[in-house]
Amino acid sequence: MEKKIILSGIQPSGVPTLGNYIGALRNWKLLQSDDKFCYYCVANMHALTVRQDAQELRSRSMGMAALLIACGIDPKVSPLFIQSDVVQHAQLNWVLACNTYMGELNRMTQFKDKSAKHADNINAGLFTYPVLMAGDILLYQADLVPVGHDQKQHVELARNIAIRFNNAYGEIFKVPEPYIPKLGGRVMSLTDPEKKMSKSDANPNSYISILDDPAVITKKFKRAVTDSEGRIAYEEGRHGVNNLLSIYCAVTGMTMEDAVASFPEGSGYGLLKKTVADAVIAEIEPVQNEYKRILADRGELEAIVKRGAEQASEVAEKTIDLVYKKVGLR
């Protein structure tokens, strides 16, 4: 049986939030099974789209690799690597850029959001970043790309580039599909539940960092914005309560119906917030303990990402060889 290929990446731009965890990282772990082969990368080249301190970037990339292992990625089974350690990512990028239209990139909503946020540094990399991401995916002939909802548009662009390239040069690339959780694909901010939870938010109360202390997690949930209805129910327009219930379902695996029914009639938001906080702590406390253990052995971590890059390079080189021959570069 042919195994399905999975690929995903995360930027080392800070400590992942509960949104990153529920939307993406948890699925990275769950997708590791006998009928799949997963590649996971720390997208440090993507992080250069905003200014970085050189030393900090490398150390944050290693920290992110440690966190991914703590989240359940088994590097013995799934190659785990740092993007820039596999040179083929840069090589494919140029060829794909020459097969992507300005108009397509202009439609990317993340570019619009990020250029508004970093108005003093709207560089070309910020604009062409989805091409680099398409390369990450297409290099490994991935079938599925586990991401949160905000990355759906980028995976669709990768599909369009693959289809266009295949039409011009023959069947070279597998056409990938996004893999987005039904509940938790878009975890919302705790302070402004109409906005996505984001690790670069200026207000730390808006997000739960997966390294937050349990007491801090409880406090942040306690302060989470809800509404004045005072009823625990999942209903159109009740963004704050819906968000808390969705988080609860995502971490416990309960259906929405069961989750709502588990609160006795007349329960208030105090109980809801405490219950959600406890469920989140139970899920991420083991991740925090693992993280500390893994970080303590820097040598082993270096060896893991080196081996991951070697495994990834072998596969990536096959794609580059094919592509470079097709376009006349080899």
List the single partner that 137 binds among ligand LTN, ligand ATP, none, CB under 5 to 8 Å by kind. ligand LTN
Q: In the complex with ligand LTN, which residue's Cβ is closer, 93 or 226?
A: 93
Residue nearest to ligand LTN (CB): 9
Label the pairing between strands 177-179 and 144-146: parallel
The helix, strand and coil proportions of the chain, stated in percent and rounded to the nearest 5, come to: 55, 10, 35
Sheet of strand 36-42, all strands in order from the earlier edge strand to the far edge: 80-82, 36-42, 4-10, 144-146, 177-179
Q: What is the DSSP string of 58-75?
A: HHHHHHHHHHHHHTT--T
The region of 180-188, 209-217, 267-275, 309-317 touching ligand ATP under the rule CB under 6 A is 180-188
Q: Is 112 a catalytic residue?
A: no
Q: Does 196 bind ligand ATP (CB under 6 A)?
A: yes
Active site residue 114: yes
For tokens 């993507």, the residue is 46
Across 120-238, where does the E strand assignment appear?
144-146, 177-179
141 token code pair: 């002939």
- Contact mark string toward ligand LTN, 136..155, x via CB under 6 A: xx-------x-x---x--x-
199 noted as active-site residue? yes
Q: How far, in Å, are 116, 117, 118, 126, 300 from residue 112 at the CA level? A: 6, 9, 10, 10, 40
136 binds, among ligand ATP, ligand LTN, none (CB under 5 to 8 A by kind): ligand LTN
Only one of the segments 15-23, 255-263, 300-308, 315-323 lies at the binding site for ligand ATP (rule: CB under 6 A); that segment is 15-23
Identify the residue among 78, 198, 218, 313 touching ligand ATP (CB under 6 A).
Answer: 198
Q: How many residues bind ligand ATP (CB under 6 A)?
A: 22
On whether the CB atoms of residues 83 and 45 are closer than 8 A, the answer is yes
- Catalytic member of 29, 174, 199, 220: 199
Q: Which residues contact 33 (CB under 8 A, 6 or more apart)?
A: none
CB of 23 to ligand ATP, least distance (A): 2
Q: Interface residues with ligand ATP (CB under 6 A)?
A: 10-11, 13-14, 17, 19-20, 22-24, 147-148, 150-151, 185-187, 196-200
Catalytic residues: 114, 196, 199
